[in-house]
Structure formats: C-alpha cells, structure tokens
Structure 1
Amino acid sequence: MGMYVGVRGWVEFTHGQREVVEQVLATHHHDLYSAGWAIPSRPFNWTLYVFYGGDIREQSVDWLRAQVAELARLVDADGDRPVGFFLLTDERVQASAWTVQDGDVREGAAPVELRWDVAGN
C-alpha cells in the first residue's frame, strides 16, 4: 500500500496574492490530499500564511512539492517572493525539510530540534 509521510508547513504571501495562490492550489487539485491546505477565511494584519498539514502517501509527496515549488515562484507587487518551511516525517523514522526562499524549494535534513516527531518521544 505504501508508506505515509506526515507533512506540515506554511508559505507566506501578501493578501493581494490570495487569488493566485488559490488558483495554483486548484490547478493541482487532489480529491483527498488537497483538503490539507488551509487559508485564513478573512485577511488580518499584513501577512497571508497558507498552511498545509496532513499524512499523505509517499508517492504523493512529489504532487505536493510541485505545488509548493509553483507557489515559491510567485512574485508580489514589490517583487518579493514567498518564504516558508515544511517538515516531513515518515514511517522509516526519517525527518526532512523543505525551505521556501528566493523562488526555490530546497530539500534537506530537518533541523535536529524538529526531529522530536520521529524520535519516539
């Protein structure tokens, strides 16, 4: 059946980018896993935090990463790109991270401080 990967994270935008963010997410719709995305129902303060949280099959991680990569390439009215962070943990007791910055998604090991989720603590 495949292994599950726990994914939790966010990407930061301006409120003016909400419509294009929603369009990107709709383009990559998945009947089950798209429900993991959460966008605040109304704007408040100055940053739009778009969150993802869910346990997804390992084979769907690339589906999610493609969305995050597309979101990472968006540019706001000031020419700024979004930033964000995602923590991924799996049933093999592995912890990795995606860092969203400068229009790219960088993959690497999760910071030691965030590996509690897979350490059995």
Structure 2
Amino acid sequence: MGMYVSVRGWLELDFAQKSDAERVIGTDGDDPYSGGWAWPARPFNWTLYLFYGGDVREGALQGVRSQVERLAALPPVDEDGDRPRGVFVLTDERGRSWCWQIRDGVVLDAPAPEFGWLAR
C-alpha cells in the first residue's frame, strides 16, 4: 500500500498571480492529488490565499512538491517584488513532522517537531 503523508498549508499570492497559479495546478490536472488545492469562496482584501490539504502517498509526494516549487517561482507582478510565500506542514505515519517554507521564490525544508502532535 505505501505510507501516507498529510500535507496542509497555504501560499499567499497577489490577485494578479491567480491565473498563472491556476495554470500551474491545471498542468497536472490528471494527478488525483491536484484536487487538494482550493481558493477562498469569496476572496477579500489584498492578499489571495491558495490552500492545499490532502493525504498523499509517500511515492507521490514529489509531485505535490513540484507544484509548490513552480508556484513559489512565480515572478513578482509589480515593482514591490513580492513573490509567493507560505508554509506547508507535513506529517507521516511514522510520526515525523516537517515543513516546507516558501519564500524568495524557493521551497525550503525545515524540521517541525512542534507539529508532531498532528501525526498522532
């Protein structure tokens, strides 16, 4: 069967990046784990949040990470130079917990023992 990893998190985007983000997600439309992405039903204010939540087979985790990496790499849309940023918390059936930190166009791995309680 394989182990599962629970992935949950978000990216903060500019509204002008929404169509590019939808293209990134749509590129992998036949991947069942692409269904874990969601936008707020009624976005408000100036930041657009893109959420992800799903239990992913360990062998397919790289596919989700690839999407996150492509989203993180979206170019800035204005002179402020703001790029997507966010965090994803991952826990697995072995009780491990870590996170992906998204900033400056890249995805960084970091231990997250403080989220170990989510793995129980």
Shared fold, TM over 0.5: yes
The residue matched to 2:83 in structure 1 has which SS? Answer: coil
Gaps in structure 2 of 5+ consecutive residues: none
TM-score, normalised relative to structure 2: 0.91
| Distance in 1 separating the partners of 2:19 and 2:111 | 32
| Distance in 1 separating the partners of 2:22 and 2:46 | 18
Determine the structure 1 residue equivalent to 2:55. 55
Correspondence list, 1:22-101, <5 A:
22-78=22-78, 79-101=81-103
Percentage of matched positions with identical amino acids: 52
| Distance in 1 separating the partners of 2:46 and 2:40 | 12
> Deviations 1:15-65 (Å, cap 9, x if unpaired)?
111111000000122442111100123431111100000101001110000
Amino acid at match of 2:102: V
Q: Greater shift after overlay, 98-107 or 71-80?
A: 71-80
| Distance in 2 separating the partners of 1:77 and 1:25 | 19
The residue matched to 1:7 in structure 2 has which SS? Answer: strand
Q: Find out whether 1:16 has 2:7 as its counterpart.
A: no
Task: Tell me how large the CA RMSD over aligned residues is.
Answer: 1.3
Q: Is the 8 A contact 1:15 1:43 kept in 2?
A: no
| Distance in 1 separating the partners of 2:63 and 2:87 | 17
| Distance in 1 separating the partners of 2:77 and 2:53 | 28
The residue matched to 1:5 in structure 2 has which SS? Answer: strand
* TM-fit CA distance, 1:92: 0.6
| Distance in 2 separating the partners of 1:60 and 1:90 | 13
Gaps in structure 1 of 5+ consecutive residues: none
Q: Is the 8 A contact 2:95 2:116 kept in 1?
A: no
| Distance in 1 separating the partners of 2:39 and 2:92 | 25
Q: Greater shift after overlay, 42-51 or 81-90?
A: 42-51
